[in-house]
Structure 1
Amino acid sequence: MPEFTMSEKIYREEVHFTGRVQGVGFRYATLQVAKEFEVTGEVKNLPDGRVYLCAEGAEREVVAFREELEDRMSPFIRESEIKSDFRPSSYKSFEITR
């Protein structure tokens, strides 16, 4: 696997949301919030009842996006488990996936 310089890497957060996050429009709301920020990635329901979010972009944009989503969807979120790192970009847009 080739080595990447920091200039080729982008900030990425992977978040698992727990709570009443399925069947409440969570993925659609996430897509709408993503349009307000310069982020790419995906959001999807998981079989265990959680929602998975992966967002990439400038660190300040990704963090602001997640914080805005958590604020808007706070009645439904019990816990957010966040992992972040820098890696080559994996996405061209933001979308709901299965």
Structure 2
Amino acid sequence: MDREVENKPVRAHVVAQGRVQGVGFRVFLQSQATRHGLSGWVRNLPDGRIETEVEGTAVLVGEFIQAVKRGPSLAHVQDIQVEWINPSSQGSSDFIIIAGSG
């Protein structure tokens, strides 16, 4: 990957399913995002999946998606879906956990 592509801002919407609730997944993803300076959010869905949006450079968002696939030690990720969306122009550096179902 060339440097221009690596540093290009991207945003991804990711949904993971499997044993992903009640295993510290949201805190795990918040830690991963914060460590890499990524912004976005994560929440549990009522159907047992987790949903997250993350924004940053292409290379760091790619690493974050790998972390979603891996999950924390108690998780078992069966599948993820990734949708690439336009980066936000808000420039926030926060990654928040949205309280909700699950």
TM-score, scaled relative to structure 2: 0.76
The answer to whether the aligner puts 1:82 opposite 2:78 as a matched pair is no
The residue that corresponds to 2:3 in the other structure is: none
Aligned counterparts of 2:30 and 2:16: Cα–Cα separation in 1? 15
| 1:73 partner letter | P
Count of aligned pairs between the two proteins: 90
Q: Is the 8 A contact 1:39 1:56 kept in 2?
A: yes
Over 3 Å counting, the alpha-carbon distance change for 1:68 and 1:79 in structure 2 is same
Per mean C-alpha deviation after superposition, the further-off stretch among 26-35 and 15-24 is 26-35
Aligned counterparts of 1:34 and 1:88: Cα–Cα separation in 2? 16
Offset of 1:95 from its aligned partner? Answer: 0.9
Structure 1, unmatched stretches of 5+, are 1-8
SS in 2 for 1:31: helix
Mapping of 1:1-98 within 5 angstroms? Answer: 10-73=9-72, 75-90=75-90, 92=92, 93-98=94-99
| 2:95 partner letter | F
SS in 1 for 2:59: helix
Which stretches of structure 1, 4 residues or longer, exceed 4 Å deviation after superposition? none
RMSD after superposition: 2.1
SS in 2 for 1:42: strand
Over 3 Å counting, the alpha-carbon distance change for 1:90 and 1:21 in structure 2 is farther
Structure 2, unmatched stretches of 5+, are 1-7
Cα deviations by residue, 1:30-85 (Å, 9 ceiling, x for unpaired): 11111221210000001111100100011111111221342243751100011013
